[in-house]
Amino acid sequence: MKRFLLSGGVLLGGSAILSKFLGLWRDRLFLDIFGAGEKIDLIFASFRIPDFFFFLLIGGTVSTLFLPRFTPLGEKEKTQFFSSFLWGVILLFGIFCGLGAMFTDSLSGIFAAGFELSLRQEMIPLARCLFGSVFLLSVSSVFAAFHQSKQQFLTIALAPVLYTGSICAGLYFWRDSFGLLTVGLAGVFGAFAHLMVNMNTFFVQQNKITWVWKKPVSAWKNFKSDFVFRVTNNAAFQINQSADVLIASFLIAGSVGAFSIGTNLGSVLLSIVGFSVANSAFPKLAKAKDDSATQKKIVGSSLGWIAFFTIPVAVIGVVFAQPILQLLFNLEGKSLEMATTVFFWTVLSLPAACCIPILARVFLASGDAKTPMKITAFSLLVATALAAVLSLRILPTEIAILGLAIGNFTASVLSASIFGVAVWRKLRI
């Protein structure tokens, strides 16, 4: 029983469930404190700016770059590679975050072009503060990748709970102290908690960091090209997410907030099930990269669990979309209508969306970043173009958010379908 409870899938799944509940409370606090109009749009748009760069360069690349190179090394070489990897992230992404904080004004004009100038000016202090939080999260992600390589998932499971919980606590206790900046300060505090739990565990286990750069040489071979492929792959998804926020900024007030709340809630099982299953299976897929039969069993089992959990939730979400949103967020009127539209289409595509992470990792485990990049880029390009045309050209203003919802649905279903065919062809024995 103890072994089962400490297994990667259970720990990561439990962590994701608790984090999602805290995330829902966080969004409810946003609405209770700042309302469902322009302020909530501003908050979600402010998060999108630093999040774009974090998930582009760090969130979707660290573990998939680190694990395949780290696993086959000897103990001394592992210390060298981890250390040089860590210093690289601290230096390079630190510089990047500093530049982002300096040029937040210009970035707000790109990511939220549809907002009035006065609203974009309100975004700047908050977005600058959030660049600090994503820097701390980037450093923490390197320590998390180390723990994942050892298949030690307790710390990885605890860190996001502390992160989201700290944000909720900060909002609850500081809500009247700093205005909108409360969101940014709470984010920095949460990111610091995330880093502390991952870093402290690393040192408690008597692991070491050395002053080295790009060693051992063998582990850094072709690193730049692999990094570029992974960033390009991430770029398609991040551009799609940012394009959705940009499109929503041109729609009626409250659209960015309604879209964010609807997609956050509708994709709740993506991290609870999709990414938890994929992250737990990825080390096994990497070890079995030359054994198609074993990989096939891992993928089949993973997809079975994903279907078991997501299909019933999708059915319930589709049938009871509006009551669920009313109960959780106390929305009403146009805000409720828009959020319900987004939630309905997002939860409808949930089973497909949750399959994508594990299917993509079949290729990443073998060092193939090109195939996921091509599939993701094509699917999201089609979906983003469809969303833009529907929302800005075809649909009436009062229901224009439906275009964004249909675009999200198309992205998940199309991507999962193409990935499914590609994996079937790759693992066919």
pLDDT value at 411 more than 60: yes
Tokens (6 digits) for 306:
């994903």
CA distance 331 to 413: 28
- Model confidence at 9, in pLDDT bands (50, 70, 90)? low
Query: Of the candidates 142, 180, 150, which has an alpha carbon nearest to the alpha carbon of residue 64?
Result: 142
Q: CB-based burial of residue 413 (10 Å sphere; 0-12 exposed, 13-18 middle, 19+ buried)?
A: middle
Q: Report how far residue 65's alpha carbon sits from residue 260's, in angstroms, rounded to the nearest whole number.
A: 29
pLDDT surpassing 60 at residue 2:
no
Q: Contact, 273 vs 354, CB < 8 A?
A: yes
Q: CA 108, CA 89: separation in Å to the nearest integer? A: 25
As a residue count, the chain comes to 429
- Confidence check: pLDDT of 6 > 50: no
The rounded mean pLDDT for the chain is 87
CA pair distance 213, 215, nearest whole angstrom: 6
Q: What is the mean pLDDT of residues 72-93?
A: 91
* Burial of 307 from C-beta contacts in 10 A (0-12 / 13-18 / 19+): middle
The stretch 298-322 carries a mean pLDDT of 93
pLDDT more than 90, % of the chain: 36
Does the pLDDT of residue 429 top 60, yes or no? no
Higher pLDDT, 324 or 373: 324
CA-derived radius of gyration, the chain = 21
Question: What backbone torsions phi and psi does residue 418 show, to the nearest 5 degrees?
Answer: -70, -40
pLDDT at 83 > cutoff 80? yes
**pLDDT band for position 405 (cuts 50, 70, 90):** very high
User: Tell me, what's the pLDDT at 75?
Assistant: 87
The contacts of residue 287 (CB under 8 Å, 6+ apart) are 71
Q: What is the pTM of this model?
A: 0.78
pLDDT of residue 5: 41
Say which residue, 125 or 179, is predicted with more confidence.
125
Q: pLDDT band at residue 366, thresholds of 50, 70 and 90? A: confident
Q: 257-260: long-range contacts (C-beta < 8 A, 24 or more apart)?
A: 257/30, 257/31, 257/36, 257/37, 257/40, 257/41, 257/43, 257/44, 257/335, 258/36, 258/335, 258/338, 258/339, 258/342, 258/401, 259/338, 259/339, 259/342, 259/401, 259/404, 260/27, 260/44
Give the residue with greater pLDDT, 240 vs 348.
Answer: 348
C-beta separation of 277 from 304 below 8 A = no
Please report the pLDDT score of residue 399 as a whole number: 92
* For residues 248-275, average pLDDT: 87
Place 271 in a pLDDT band, splitting at 50, 70 and 90: confident
Take residue 193 and report the two structure tokens written for it.
């908690």
Backbone angles phi, psi at 298, to 5 degrees: -65, -45
The C-alpha atoms of residue 411 and residue 236 are separated, in whole angstroms, by 11
The mean pLDDT value for 205-216 works out to 87
Integer Cα distance of 250 and 390 in angstroms: 13
Q: In whole angstroms, what is the distance from residue 283 CA to residue 304 CA?
A: 19
How far is residue 107's CA from residue 92's CA, in Å, rounded to a whole number?
A: 19
Query: 220 with 359: CB under 8 angstroms?
Result: no
Pair of tokens at residue 274: 């999709």
* Region 266-274 average pLDDT: 84
- Residue range 284-301: mean pLDDT, rounded: 86
Query: What's the N-to-C CA distance of the chain in angstroms?
Result: 35
What local confidence, expressed as pLDDT, does residue 71 receive? 82
Structure tokens of 188? 């920095």
- In 3D space, the residue among 270, 15, 360 whose CA is nearest the CA of residue 7 turns out to be 15
Residue 258 in tokens: 């309604």
Give the Cβ contact number of residue 318 at 10 Å: 15
pLDDT greater than 50 at residue 92: yes
Q: What is the mean pLDDT of residues 384-406?
A: 93
216 cis-preceded (ω within 30 degrees of 0): yes
Q: How far apart are CA 64 and CA 230, in angstroms?
A: 8
Using CA atoms, how far apart are residues 45 and 122, in angstroms rounded to an integer? 11
Tell the residue number behind the tokens 């190179």, with chain if given.
69
Contacts of 365 (CB under 8 A, 6+ apart): 68, 282, 285, 286, 288, 289, 295
What pLDDT shows up at residue 233? 64
CA separation for the pair 408, 356 (Å, rounded): 14
